[in-house]
Amino acid sequence: MDKIAVLIPCYNESQTIEKVVKDWKRELPEAVIYVYDNNSKDGTDEIAREAGAVVRYEYQQGKGNVIRRMFREIDAQCYIMIDGDDTYPAEMGREMVNKVLERNVDMVVGDRLSSTYFEENKRPFHNFGNSLVRGSINRLFRSNIRDIMTGYRAFSYEFVKSFPVLSKGFEIETEMSIHAVDKNMAVENIIIEYRDRPQGSESKLNTYSDGFKVLKTIGRLYKNYKPMQFFGMVSLLLFIIAACMFVPVLITYFEIGLVPNFPTLIVSGFMALAALQSLFSGMILSTIAERERQEFEFRLQLVRRMKKDELC
């Protein structure tokens, strides 16, 4: 087991990868630097290898697929995940590692949004999207993660080996954040300086398509992790619609003693039944989700035992 593993997922980062690898070798000389190449066509892998990194490959395209491969293959007491575009400072790595190894923090989040991100980033829709995602998750899950989409994080062995990677692309950071909050893992934020990509280096993130995937992921995970709240809101909405349709029919009945709008009455009845069905679905799924959290704690004990065995 490595003590510290620096994980760098890469796709066509030949312009910056050498500097990133050398910066991390300088800041954390005891760490093993892993570069996982994701079908780069510009020689990123060879440059990283010459700079001193251990180069491996993931042929399924997408950042989520790369991180899944990394987490499966590498065993370490502490993991640092960093992008290969030289937008994050390696100088904060030591502090992040210390939080994991000395304070038993499960995930340390490199917070760009509280420092220079909005000044350095030249894509206004990215700024808006980051703020929207952060606000949505912190409100829905009652958390205080200051930067949901950051690619600069540190993890404990327990987090990495118990985290089920389901996303294939850039929504992976959102999935990590929600998983940590839902499973009551120790999370801390560290404010970092952010610098925009150097000229000639292009972001692989599509503002609109990837942004939609992130929002879709938030909705999916909210439904899975907080089913009572999700289906409770659906039930309330259906009940309000049913009431809005039923009340005028009821008023007309009291006024003239007749029900002239039977179709409206029937539809309102079906809407009320759907509201009840949604409510009971939320209650059942909430019980299942609670059971899953209990089972996760038992699995986490097994992961910790595996870690102790490997250290011994």
Residue located via tokens 């879709």? 216
Task: Please state the rounded mean pLDDT for residues 254-282.
Answer: 92
155 and 210 in a single domain? The answer is: yes
144 and 293 in a single domain? The answer is: no
pLDDT, residue 22, reads 96
232 and 210 in a single domain? The answer is: no
187-191: strand order across its sheet: 54-57, 32-37, 2-10, 76-81, 153-156, 107-111, 187-191
75 and 90 in a single domain? The answer is: yes
pLDDT, residue 194, reads 87
Task: Please state the rounded mean pLDDT for residues 229-254.
Answer: 94
168 and 237 in a single domain? The answer is: no
Domains contained in the chain, number: 2
CA distances from 125 to 74, 128, 177, 196 (A): 35, 5, 21, 15
Query: Which of 224, 252, 271 is the last residue in one of the domains?
Result: 224
Query: Which of 208, 224, 240 is the last residue in one of the domains?
Result: 224
Task: Please state the rounded mean pLDDT for residues 176-192.
Answer: 94
pTM: 0.85
Is pLDDT above 90 for 209?
Answer: no
Distance (Å, whole) CA 48 – CA 10: 10
pLDDT over 90, % of the chain: 71
68 and 177 in a single domain? The answer is: yes
Per-residue pLDDT tens digits for 51-84: 999 999 999 999 999 999 999 999 999 999 999 9
Query: Which range among 98-112, 134-148, 223-237 shows the weakest confidence by mean pLDDT?
Result: 134-148
Residue located via tokens 């000395």? 102
Q: Give the side-chain half-sphere CA count within 13 A for 78.
A: 23
Task: Please state the rounded mean pLDDT for residues 277-284.
Answer: 96
CA distances from 215 to 126, 132, 137, 173 (A): 13, 9, 10, 12
Task: Give the number of other CB atoms < 10 A from CB of residue 270.
Answer: 11
240 and 153 in a single domain? The answer is: no
Query: Which range among 50-54, 122-126, 274-278 shows the weakest confidence by mean pLDDT?
Result: 122-126
274 and 147 in a single domain? The answer is: no
112 and 238 in a single domain? The answer is: no
pLDDT, residue 126, reads 67
10 and 145 in a single domain? The answer is: yes
Query: Which range among 5-14, 70-79, 180-189, 202-211 shows the weakest confidence by mean pLDDT?
Result: 202-211
Task: Please state the rounded mean pLDDT for residues 215-243.
Answer: 94
Are the C-beta atoms of residues 40 and 57 closer than 8 Å to each other? no
Domain containing 101 equals 2-224
pLDDT, residue 213, reads 85
Average pLDDT, the chain: 91
210 and 270 in a single domain? The answer is: no
282 and 183 in a single domain? The answer is: no
pLDDT, residue 38, reads 95
CA distances from 248 to 130, 299, 311 (A): 44, 54, 71
Task: Please state the rounded mean pLDDT for residues 290-295.
Answer: 92
pLDDT, residue 227, reads 95
Query: Which of 205, 224, 243 is the last residue in one of the domains?
Result: 224
pLDDT, residue 201, reads 64
